[in-house]
């Protein structure tokens, strides 16, 4: 499939203009993950209180709450057509929630340990999950079963995503590596070495030619997928960098940090742009809301904040 973003250019968001607009106390335990609705101004939060919730932004009105996981919810992702969402949890399951039926319609329990992440393929037919059991699994949603298991990492896989508009999956692991896999064969195509500590998160730009990854020392690295090499190294330490996102222009990078802040960098030369302070505890998640030029963050202080 052709990536529709290959020839499009977007204006970058203005990192220097961000200031905290609103704070919402969303959960009764730390928030681990955020996801944006593909079409509407809605954000979903996943929390250690075993629930997930959907909110309107920037108003912050509660739309839906999902209960059913028996442990912390680690990750949340909207289906590309937005009729459902997926969550992963410390109870070693992945669940699919249907908005029309307003209930959980599938539970995948093939992982043997806590599941750290889940992500939809852009077709919406497949979901990938990653776990503390050192594997990632590809789920066929129509048949509701596991299609492939990706083995090769020698420690917990902490995050997983699809390369945009492709059949490639990217994982990052506690073994300090970032790997690219072919979802059709289940084979590892490429491994990127360079992190000096456990990798926490991995993200793509819209064009799909750059991977950003973060580690427990606060190191952020940008990798050129085609040339298979490190393009840029940013030190956002000494505290751990928990999440990284690239805005749709591909030029702005935001990092959620253990030091209670969000740090913004230029994704082309790595220069530091700004720090957003306001969270009272570790920042665990960050997303760009490009239509309204917002940045949304969430963390262990149980709030999500709109900048």
Q: Give the 3-state DSSP-derived string for 32-78, with helices as H, strands as E and coil as C.
A: EEEEECCCCCEEEEEECCCEEEEEECCCCCEEEEEECCCCCEEEEEE
Tokens of 103: 């209930």
Which of 303, 277, 280, 282 has the alpha carbon at shortest distance from 18?
277
- pLDDT tens readout for residues 61-114: 888 888 888 999 999 999 998 889 999 999 999 999 998 888 889 999 999 999
Pick the range with the lowest mean pLDDT from 11-25, 91-105, 138-152, 171-185. 11-25
Q: State the pLDDT at residue 66.
A: 86
Cα torsion through 210, 14, 293, 241, rounded to 10: 50
- Distance, CA of 177 to CA of 70 (rounded, Å): 30
> For all residues of the chain together, what is the average pLDDT?
89
Which of 208, 199, 221, 216 has the alpha carbon at shortest distance from 267?
221
- Distance, CA of 205 to CA of 149 (rounded, Å): 25
Q: State the pLDDT at residue 278.
A: 86
Query: Is residue 16 scored above 80 in pLDDT?
Result: no
Work out the average pLDDT over 42-52: 90
Residues with Cβ within 8 Å of residue 268, at least 6 apart in sequence:
251
What is the separation, in whole angstroms, between the first and last Cα of the chain?
35
Per-residue pLDDT band for 138 (boundaries 50, 70, 90) equals very high
Q: State the pLDDT at residue 293.
A: 81
- Distance, CA of 171 to CA of 195 (rounded, Å): 14
- Distance, CA of 128 to CA of 34 (rounded, Å): 17
- pLDDT tens readout for residues 147-169: 999 998 999 999 999 999 999 99
Which of 169, 159, 178 has the alpha carbon at shortest distance from 88?
159
Work out the average pLDDT over 280-306: 87
Q: What is the pTM of this model?
A: 0.91
Which of 136, 236, 262, 125 has the alpha carbon at shortest distance from 187?
136
Cis, bond preceding 238 (omega within 30 deg of 0): yes
Query: Is residue 120 scored above 80 in pLDDT?
Result: yes
Work out the average pLDDT over 179-202: 91
Per-residue pLDDT band for 208 (boundaries 50, 70, 90) equals confident
Q: State the pLDDT at residue 178.
A: 92
Query: With pLDDT > 90 as the criterion, what percentage of the chain qualifies?
Result: 37
User: Which is more confident, 143 or 15?
Assistant: 143
Q: State the pLDDT at residue 17.
A: 81
Q: State the pLDDT at residue 235.
A: 86
């Amino acid at each position: 499939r052709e990536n529709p973003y290959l020839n499009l250019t977007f204006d970058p968001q203005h990192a220097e203009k961000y200031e905290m607009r609103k704070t919402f106390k969303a959960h009764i335990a730390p928030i681990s993950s955020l996801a944006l609705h593909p079409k509407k101004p809605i954000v979903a939060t996943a929390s250690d209180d075993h629930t997930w919730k959907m909110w309107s932004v920037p108003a912050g009105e509660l739309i839906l709450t999902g209960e059913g996981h028996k442990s912390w919810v680690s990750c949340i992702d909207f289906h590309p057509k937005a009729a459902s969402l997926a969550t992963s949890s410390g109870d070693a399951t992945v669940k699919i929630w249907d908005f029309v039926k307003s209930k959980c319609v599938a539970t995948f329990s093939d992982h043997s340990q806590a599941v750290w992440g889940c992500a939809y393929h852009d077709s919406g037919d497949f979901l990938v999950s990653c776990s503390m059991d050192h594997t990632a699994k590809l789920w066929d949603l129509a048949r509701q079963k596991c299609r492939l298991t990706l083995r090769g990492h020698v420690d917990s896989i902490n995050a997983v995503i699809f390369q945009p508009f492709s059949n490639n999956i990217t994982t990052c692991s506690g073994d300090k590596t970032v790997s690219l896999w072919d979802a059709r064969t289940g084979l590892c195509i490429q491994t990127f070495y360079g992190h000096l500590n456990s990798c926490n998160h991995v993200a793509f730009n819209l064009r799909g030619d750059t991977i950003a990854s973060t580690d427990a020392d606060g190191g952020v690295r940008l990798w050129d997928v085609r040339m298979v090499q490190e393009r840029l190294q940013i030190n956002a330490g000494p505290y751990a960098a928990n999440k990284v996102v690239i805005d749709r222009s591909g030029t702005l990078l935001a990092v959620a940090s253990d030091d209670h802040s969000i740090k913004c960098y230029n994704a082309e030369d790595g220069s530091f742009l700004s720090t957003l302070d306001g969270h009272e505890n570790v920042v665990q998640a960050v997303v760009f809301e490009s239509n309204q030029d917002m940045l949304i963050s969430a963390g262990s202080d149980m709030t999500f904040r709109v900048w």
